[in-house]
Amino acid sequence: MVKTPVFRGSCTAIVTPFDEHGIDYERFRKNIAFQYENGTAALVVCGTTGEAATLSHEEHDELVRVAIKECAGKMKVIVGVGSNNTVSALRAAESARAAGADAVLMVTPYYNKSTQKGLVEHFSFVADRVDIPLILYNVPSRTGIGLSAETCKTLSGHPNIVGIKEASGDISLAGKIRSLCGDDLFIWSGNDDCTVPLMALGALGVISVASNIVPGVMTKLCALCLEQNFQEATELYAKYAPLMSALFLETNPIPVKAAMQSMDLDSGILRLPLVEISRENRGRLLAVMRDVGITV
């Protein structure tokens, strides 16, 4: 069984630009164009950064349709379909498949606190029923449950499960997944600040928050790593590490939307329960942005 990576390089977990009436699709299209112009390889639509938890089924499906139309022949489109309801995740995956998505991204089921056996069955239930590449998403800080390396090994045997967005922050875990799974489960960093070490271990790129505002930087960082030029990659990372950290001064995507607004990029408003960044943290964020050379 030979699997093909969905993408190599930088993938932007793109924000959803809301206004008081719903989703501003014109702003969304402009943001997609900005990503393409800066070399982004793929987009994750309806992910954490896109405030997927606040989307209706209709909004979710329309965002996917718009993204696929705008990205046709330019960038891959990966659709977030994760849920703590397995049947709901299946519905979203079926919709993404019908719309022409390149892959789906499926987070571990939050709140339910499944066992590892339950995780295998949860992901397999969807992968058995929808013929589309499925990327696992491991982010236990948000969901309360993480994938073990052994569970990843089991899931890597499924022909439709092709990779993992590894956002645990545990470099040792990523190394073990790579060792156990090899090219049966491609790895992408789920944290901007882990991009270089994970790519040194064999990851193929990053699913990035920072690339909403510095897509060219993240494209270059991944390209250097793919070229095995880790000296220059480390130097580039060192410059932007404070920015990557500042984008998590508050819950994502609060800071990145504030950063985009300061750059006259159309990020839209936040949806409850998320609220605007505090005045203190806005000041800290803008100071870091100036330090790395971003005009605000």
| Residues 190, 163 contacting (CB under 8 angstroms) | no
SS3 261: helix
The active-site residue out of 3, 69, 165, 220 is 165
Report the alpha-carbon angle 12-13-18, nearest 5.
120
User: Does residue 137 carry a catalytic annotation?
Assistant: yes
Give the CA distances from residue 196 to residues 63, 199, 215, 226, in Å, rounded to whole numbers and listed in that order: 31, 5, 16, 10
Q: Where are the alpha helices (DSSP H) in 1-148?
A: 25-37, 57-71, 86-99, 116-129, 140-143
User: Does residue 74 carry a catalytic annotation?
Assistant: no
Give the CA distances from residue 136 to residues 6, 11, 161, 167, 244, in Å, rounded to whole numbers and listed in that order: 13, 15, 7, 10, 23
SS3 237: helix
Residue of 178, 106, 265 whose CA lies nearest to 257? 265
The active-site residue out of 3, 111, 113, 137 is 137
Catalytic residues: 137, 165
